[in-house]
Amino acid sequence: VRNTVDEFSVEEKRGLYRAIYERRDVRSQFLRDPLPAPVLGRILDAAHHAPSVGFMQPWDFIVIEDATVRAAVHANFTDANRSAAALYTGPRREIYDSLKLQGILDAPVNLCVTCDPERSCGHRLGRQTDPATVLYSAACAVQNLWLAARAESVGVGWVSILDLEALKSLLGIPAGHTVTAYLCLGFVSEFRPKPDLEEHGWERRQPLPSLLHFDGWGRHDDSRAASLFPAATAVSAE
Ligand SMILES: Cc1cc2nc3c(=O)[nH]c(=O)nc-3n(C[C@H](O)[C@H](O)[C@H](O)COP(=O)(O)O)c2cc1C
């Protein structure tokens, strides 16, 4: 049975999956070329079309290009990363120290995505039972942005190793709002085929069947899982 209502063409589907599989977290490959304003506008509008609980749209976006502001954020990262690195010892510490975990000064645009948990928009529909849905909504905006950016050949890197309270005061973010994401955006020299953390031997992608449960937790089923992924239609880029 095939439902063809408003069907995507083969090319359109390919484009969507390409954005999904070829999206990368970029830290090292940023070019300094400025982002054309309409490109940034399209990426932001994609974020603004994310799903949100009760149609609450809890997000705001702070576009940061000013070198002084970015230098202050970079200093914030350097301090936070020193503490984060101290959690590791031995070979894992060596890998950690070899990782580049941000492109704050390299990327021409930084973007802070914030979340307002008290926004009246949406009239609290859907969020009484789980306040975290507000945060998930803002994260959906980031994912939309990330995929649209890939389609525009724009790299995005998410920087979470930051003292968020210090970041909030630096950017003048109101007390009740939270920082969802601090992102670095720019054109890139290349999109690497695999996650940086995989290339550096930090972590690998887990086999999807091991994460699939059928009709209840812990009920793995190799043959049902295999039926979902006939080799001929595998689309993963890896
Ligand atoms: C919530 C979140 C926070 C992240 N924080 C950082 C970070 O601080 N520094 C960094 O280099 N990458 C960060 N990343 C990127 C992940 O390391 C990356 O998504 C993961 O290794 C998979 O690689 P890929 O995005 O290229 O597929 C973050 C990603 C997410 C979703």
Please work out whether the CB of residue 160 comes within 6 Å of at least one atom of ligand 1: yes
* Identity of the amino acid at 24: R
Ligand 1 centre from 196 Cα, in Å? Answer: 9
Rounded to the nearest 5°, which phi and psi values hold at 35? -85, 125
- Whole-angstrom distance, CA of residue 186 vs CA of residue 55: 29
The model's pTM is 0.94
- Is the CB of residue 101 below 6 angstroms from any atom belonging to ligand 1? yes
Q: How far apart are CA 117 and CA 179, in angstroms?
A: 11
Q: Which atom of ligand 1 is nearest to the CA of 27?
A: 11
- Is residue 179 within a helix (H) or strand (E), and if so which, with residue range? strand 178-187
pLDDT class of 42 with cuts at 50, 70, 90:
very high
Strands (E), 177-227: 178-187
Task: Give residue 1's pLDDT.
Answer: 66
**pLDDT recorded at residue 237:** 40
Could you give the percent of the chain with pLDDT greater than 70? 97
Judge if the beta carbon of residue 150 lies within 6 A of ligand 1. no
Query: What is the structure's pLDDT at 186?
Result: 98
DSSP state of 107: S
Contact assessment for residue 209 and residue 220, using Cβ atoms and an 8 Å cutoff: yes
Q: Is 195 in the pocket of ligand 1 (CB under 6 A)?
A: yes
Residue whose structure tokens are 């595998």: 234
Q: Highest-confidence range of 48-57, 116-125, 126-135, by mean pLDDT?
A: 48-57
170-210 pLDDT, tens per residue?
999 999 999 999 999 999 999 999 999 999 999 999 999 99
pLDDT tens track for 121-161? 988 888 888 999 999 999 999 999 999 999 999 999 999 99
Count of CB atoms situated within 10 Å of the CB of 65: 14
- β-pairing, 178-187 with 109-115? antiparallel
User: Is residue 69 scored above 60 in pLDDT?
Assistant: yes
Higher-confidence residue of 68 and 128: namely 68
Rounded distance, CA 95 to CA 25, Å?
18
Place of tokens 């484009």: 15
Q: Which token pair is 221?
A: 């089923």
pLDDT, mean of residues 218-223 = 93
- Residue 124: the pLDDT is 84
Q: What's the chain's average pLDDT?
A: 94
For residues 99 and 107, is the Cβ–Cβ distance under 8 A?
Answer: no
